[in-house]
Amino acid sequence: METSQTPPAIAILGAGIGGLALAIGLIRRNVPVTIYEAADQFSMVGAGIGLGPNSLRAIDLIDPKFREQYEQAKTENEKREFEHSVFDALCAEDGLGEKRGWTRGLVGAPYFRRSSAHRKDLLLIMESFIPKETVRFGKRAESIKQVKDKVIIRFQDGEVATFDTVIGCDGVKGMTRQVVLGDIAPEEVAPTFCGMYIYRGIIPMDKAKEILGTHAGDAKWFMAKGKGVAIYPISKGKEENFVFFVADSNPWMHGDNRIPCTKEEMIEDLEGFDERLLRLLDYASPYRWPTWHHPKTTTFFNKRVCLVGDVAHASSPHQAAGAGQGLEDAVILSHLLALVKSPEQLEAAYEVYDAVRRPRAQKVVSTSFDAGVMYTWRNSEIGDDMSKIVANANQRLHWIWQHDIEADIKGAELDFYKLISERQPQTTH
């Protein structure tokens, strides 16, 4: 049988960071794609997103113009002494650690320069690379079925669309995970509660400085037993993002959603915190958000349906590496799909993508969870020893930041062509 030379019809489900990054990479490589998004417009909901050196290389490889625009929008630490610091580890207790003689705990590297962006600003940049006709808004998928060599999407509005492949970028609770894993590993489909919920908000920087003094303007992690708060600048230094973490060993009994709460309940949760940190709660949204992750994923694809970003490997935020892993997914998959000459080659591309990306992404998930345990003083060997926490933190991130994604691309291309060659029908004479 001769394989066709018709490029595959590709659909992306979800227009978040992962879906848009993949689409930008495909468009730059002249690969046609259609994006379906359930919302009526690009969602600007969310807060700050931290991007390490690996993430910035990924952005560059997706499209150098993307990197140029990010550089214009990014926010760095304010003071020069924190230029190479991902955060300064301090205590959340009264005095912020000064009473125990702890006043500085820099975590970072000489080659690292901290940068982040408001999710809204990042999405506005990404949106500018996507032709309007490429995105279909208000299209919530109701079912996805694989029939022979096609993938059929049925939408809630009654429309039915058929593609050669569907790539799920539909988030931690996305339905494409069920399509990929439902028959293979059904116990892995639903996300797992990380044993931690959060309070979060954004405060104007001038107000943050009134409350926190010199602690405002730079990334800080204030730690305590079973809880903590991370703060960092966003919006070109005009605002400070903050996230309070509270460990909870009980199952999350409220479905997938946030639940309303009062400021008094937040303060009760954060008993023992320095009064300055508690004042940030005046700017917090009145909700508890559960945190979810996917600690185990047997495969990132099933035939012609493939997973990218949080639906594949949602992570807790404690290494600021989740968004970067979605960007790395986009780099590898856009490169591989640009090599695909016919629909028959799609599964070979996905097989290679899975082999390259899944082990690394899964390690980020597990190590991020471990970091969260340590930063909330629940590591049985380290406890509240801040010197040991900082020493551990300064060793645990290099493998993420210094990863050679260019080598991944080269290896993926070689492996793809090897698979295609092996599977090419032999002609007889």
Are 135 and 39 in contact by the 8 Å Cβ rule? The answer is no
Cα separation, 330 vs 306, in Å, equals 12
Cα separation, 172 vs 313, in Å, equals 8
Are 25 and 334 in contact by the 8 Å Cβ rule? The answer is yes
Q: Phi-psi region for residue 364, left (φ > 0), alpha (ψ -120 to 50) or beta? A: alpha
Cα separation, 162 vs 24, in Å, equals 22
Q: Helices 346-375 & 405-423, crossing angle to 10 degrees?
A: 150
* Tally of helices (H runs) and strands (E runs) in the chain: 14, 20
Catalytic sites, residue numbers: 200, 232
Cα separation, 337 vs 12, in Å, equals 13
DSSP run (H or E) holding 223: strand 220-224
